[in-house]
Amino acid sequence: MRTFQSVLSEAIMYDQQNITYMIVALRKQNLISMNDQYNPEIFQEVDEKIYAAEKERALFTRKSVKPYACKITENKFVFVLAHNKQDATYAAQDYSGKKVTKIFLYDLDYGLTKGETFTSFRELKKYHDHFPVVVGDYEPRMYQSALSNKKIAN
């Protein structure tokens, strides 16, 4: 049995803003309880106040955050979670002290390793409240060793 609480959790996790707005608005008007069984037909009963609140952004929601890979040297990238390319560029330049030469948009579910653990940008996003934020950088090992003249032990 799916409840409105479980549907709301999924909507927030997958950035489905319309569903998030609707459930929060219905709850604020005491039309549903979060433990009620989910019934999508109730959305048809939503009145103009809810639509107006959505347009005015009077209800809480998180702006869409996207992962960007900002190229700062021939072989080094800075990964940034930001609302747009401009914010990502500024954050990468502040972090690295170098100009961003290219920027790439990644999928939130793109898999990457952090230390010895496997994660995704979506998981990293959960740990931050303010954006843009630098979540890491990447430089292939062969370039690290060539640039630093240090041997890498395997």
Residue 51 lies in a domain: yes
Confidence of residue 116 (pLDDT cuts 50, 70, 90): confident
Q: Model pTM?
A: 0.53
Shared domain check, 98 and 41 = no
Shared domain check, 52 and 11 = yes
Region 120-129 average pLDDT: 87
Shared domain check, 130 and 82 = yes
How many domains is the chain built from? 2
Predicted confidence at residue 88, as pLDDT, reads 95
Residue 61 lies in a domain: no
Q: What are the pLDDT digits (tens) for 40-79?
A: 777 766 656 556 666 665 444 456 899 999 999 989 999 9
Predicted confidence at residue 154, as pLDDT, reads 41
Neighbours of 92 (CB within 10 A): 26
Shared domain check, 74 and 128 = yes
Shared domain check, 44 and 72 = no
Write down the mean pLDDT value for the chain: 81
Q: What are the pLDDT digits (tens) for 72-100?
A: 998 999 999 999 999 999 999 999 999 99
Burial class (CB in 10 A: 0-12, 13-18, 19+), 9: middle
Task: Name the residue range of residue 36's domain.
Answer: 4-56
Shared domain check, 136 and 117 = yes
